[in-house]
Structure formats: C-alpha cells, structure tokens
C-alpha cells in the first residue's frame, strides 16, 4: 500500500495514536488502513472412500495436485465458499460438509478452513483452473506432486484419522520451510 484508498495521498507506515502496532496511516485524511489475514475455504470431497484432487492449471504450482479451495468472498459463508470452489475447480457437488480443520499459515497471512464432504455427482470434471481432476485412494495419493504444504498436512491428518474413523476438529499451524506445529 503506497496511497490512501480514501483520499489518494501517500500513506505512512507508522503506529497511529491509539494503536499498538504499525499500520498504514493517512496523515492527510487520518484514516487507518487495516490489513488482515484472508480466509481460504476448501474441501476433501470423498466418494466411495476416494478423495477428489485437482491438478492446477494456474500458477503457483502449475501441474501440481491440490484440494479444491479458494479465498472467501464478501457476502458468503465459509461453507458456501468451500462448495463454490469445489464447483468452480472440479464441477464437484458435495453434501454433508463437516468442518474438519483450521490451518494457520501466519507467515503469509492466510487461514485455511477445510471440510470433509461427500462428493455426490459422477460428472465431476476440470474447471477452468484445473488441468484434470481425479479420485485417489488414500493409499495412492500423489504425495510427491502436491501443490502446497498445507494440503499435504490436511491429507496426512485425514489418512491418519481414517484408521480410526474418528475425525476430531483440529487447529494446526503451518510453519515456513514445510515444518508444521499443532
């Protein structure tokens, strides 16, 4: 942020009066411009025990596999966002969405909310942001070709929980360098 979105003047990176940390602040119109983490909602769409993954047609990580997920938009619920992204990226229709995990990626200011879900349609297919979509058995996931550490972590947890069929809601912190802390 270089210019004030309210008045167009240059902004300062400073601690405004009454604040406890640096903010973008406009000294002309006195507006504080808060910047906050973004929410990403996604799903693990499951059909007959298999997990639907999408191979990315866009950067970053073009050609790598991921779960359908994307940024929460204004005016929608987190669950609706997970549904919309699955429809857009994989033409996947889901029901019985269950909140499964909250993953903080604080170093890039993202919060992931991932649902377990039943994939109910058979005509899933690539959306515009996917090269292909495919159902994978949990014992045949493309571990070497996953797009992001957060997706690896979610799939590891899911495969772990599958053994006991117990899927507790968890909050996990994803750390830089592919390390994770719970």
Instruction: Find tokens 């966002």 and name the residue.
Output: 81
Which C-beta is closer to a second copy: that of 9 or that of 120?
Answer: 9
Sheet holding 32-33, edge to edge: 12-14, 23-25, 32-33
> Min. distance of Cβ 50 from a second copy in angstroms?
25
Helices (H), 37-97: 78-90
Contacts to a second copy by CB under 8 A: 1-8, 10-11, 21, 33-39, 71-79, 99, 102, 104, 106-107, 109, 111, 113, 169, 171, 173
| Closer residue to a second copy (CB): 134 or 173 | 173
Q: Which is nearer to a second copy, 94 or 111 (CB)?
A: 111
> Considering the complex, what minimum distance in angstroms separates the CB of residue 120 from a second copy?
19
Which residue, 50 or 118, has its beta carbon nearer to a second copy?
118
Tell whether the torsion through CA atoms of 73, 171, 68 and 82 is positive or negative.
Answer: negative
Nearest approach, Cβ of residue 178 and a second copy (Å): 17
CA distance 154 to 151: 5
Q: How far is the CB of 145 from a second copy (least distance, A)?
A: 26
Tokens 């889901």 sit on residue: 94
- Cα-Cα-Cα-Cα torsion 72, 76, 80, 86, nearest 10 degrees, comes to -40
């Amino acid at each position: 942020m270089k210019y004030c979105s309210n008045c167009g003047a240059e902004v300062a990176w400073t601690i405004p009066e009454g604040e406890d940390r640096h903010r973008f602040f406009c000294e002309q119109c006195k507006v504080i411009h808060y910047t906050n983490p973004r929410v990403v909602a996604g799903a693990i769409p499951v059909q007959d025990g298999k997990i639907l993954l999408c191979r990315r047609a866009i950067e970053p990580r073009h050609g790598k596999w991921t779960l359908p997920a994307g940024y929460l938009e204004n005016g929608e619920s987190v669950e609706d966002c997970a549904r919309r992204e699955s429809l857009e990226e994989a033409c996947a229709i889901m029901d019985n969405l269950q909140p499964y995990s909250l993953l903080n990626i604080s170093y890039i200011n993202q919060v992931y909310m991932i649902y377990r879900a039943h994939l109910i349609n058979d005509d899933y297919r690539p959306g515009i942001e996917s090269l292909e979509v495919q159902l994978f058995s949990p014992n045949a996931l493309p571990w070497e070709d996953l797009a992001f550490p957060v997706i690896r972590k979610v799939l590891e947890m899911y495969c772990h929980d599958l053994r006991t069929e117990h899927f507790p809601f968890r909050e996990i912190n994803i750390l830089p360098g592919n390390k994770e802390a719970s």
